[in-house]
Amino acid sequence: QENLAVQWQYVKRNLRELGVLGNFDDFEQRAHQAIQNLIQSDIYEEFAEQIGAKRYEHAPSRIDSRKGEYPRYFTTTFGTSLVNMPVARDGTRITYKLFDRYQRRQKKFDNTVVLSMILGLSTRKQRKFFNAFIGDAVSHGTASRLLKTLEGDLVTYRTRPIEDKYKYLLVDGLWVSVMSNGRLRKMVILFVLGITLDNKKEIIAFKLAKGETEQEVSGLLNDIYRRGLEGKHVKIIASDGAGGIRQAIALVYPYAKWQLCHTHKLRNLAGNIRHKIAHRRKMMAEASRIYKSMSRRQAIKRFKRFSDKWRSLEPKAIRCLEKDFYDTIVYY
């Protein structure tokens, strides 16, 4: 796939062809220049306020004068900006509230750096990514320091009380490569995603684990239970067919109904189709219709019709679908 910078160029080209934007590059340049002018004006205002007089102004309150300027670079989401920093002739120390608010790099840009690392971009790719977008990048050391600022937030996130407001929970694992003791090894990020009573999707908790075992998953579920998610409103908890996850759900939330994720079921079905070119597209379209049925009865009817049709042609795939099928339609 094309990287994000290239995709962004496609987006701008398509918008121009549709007549939505005349020249988006011109807009970006104007926005960049406007931000730079605003910041430059703010610097001059703060300097004048602290020396007690504006430029060339003869005021009794003046305590110093301007000796010259030096350039300073900083980064916004529209690119690298160059501003001129006034210097006081008699050495008056000038402090700028602007940079306390705006910092050396705009907070949004810093957050994007953090995001790029969380998504797994290497330092080389990260520098290439930001150079393509805004003509600037940060060193690995700077990015690492930015990541360290998240540690306090993570502790707060993992110890906060959890409101018991969820009607559906989804428990799953995302396998990732982790560098440990100089070599890569596979570990899993276990997470619990919740759907609130007003239908909002939220990540409730996550942790890095050695595997999708009952011990690891029950530890995560017991933690969110202890912090307040007792499951008084939970109707269904969904997961894939991993035995450890299912056993942990039964242990911590024994009265909640368990739903086998039908997305995982369809993926497994696709993987077991033997004649992929001839059959897969048609089979997957028909199998998806099962889970779009208006009722449980209709879903079962479509399932049986599908199984009878394809059993002789794709026996392995049909056995895969039939296994625990009724656990995939609990939500009806």
Mind spelling out the 3-state secondary structure of the chain? CCCHHHHHHHHHHHHHHHCCCCCHHHHHHHHHHHHHHHHHHHHHHHHHHHHCCCCCCCCCCCCCCEEEEEEEEEEECCEEEEEEEEEECCCCCCCCHHHHHHCCECHHHHHHHHHHHHCCCCHHHHHHHHHHHHCCCCCHHHHHHHHHCHHHHHHHHHHCCCCCCEEEEEEEEEEEEEEECCEEEEEEEEEEEEEECCCCEEEEEEEEECCCCHHHHHHHHHHHHHCCCCCCCCCEEEECCCHHHHHHHHHHCCCCEEEECHHHHHHHHHHCCCCHHHHHHHHHHHHHHHCCCCCHHHHHHHHHHHHHHHCCCCHHHHHHHHCCHHHHHCCC
pLDDT digits (tens, 9 = 90+) for 230-270: 999 999 999 998 899 999 999 999 999 999 999 999 999 99
C-beta separation of 48 from 54 below 8 A: yes
pLDDT at 131: 64
CA dist 248 to 59, 196, 242, 244, 282, Å? 76, 22, 10, 6, 37
Q: Name which of 196, 192, 263 is nearest 234 in CA terms.
A: 196
pLDDT of res. 288: 95
User: CB under 8 Å to 26, separation ≥6 — which residues?
Assistant: none
Report the pLDDT value the prediction gives residue 88, as an integer from 0 to 100: 86
0.95 exceeded by the pTM? no
Give the chain's residues under pLDDT 50.
Answer: none
The whole-number pLDDT of residue 140 equals 67
**What is the pLDDT at residue 176?**
86
pLDDT of residue 155: 84
**pLDDT tens, 192-227?**
999 999 999 999 999 999 899 999 999 999 999 999
Q: How far is it, in rounded angstroms, from Cα 322 to Cα 332?
A: 18
Tell me, what's the pLDDT at 184?
A: 84
Q: What pLDDT is stored for residue 104 in this prediction? A: 56
231: left (phi over 0), alpha (psi -120 to 50) or beta: left
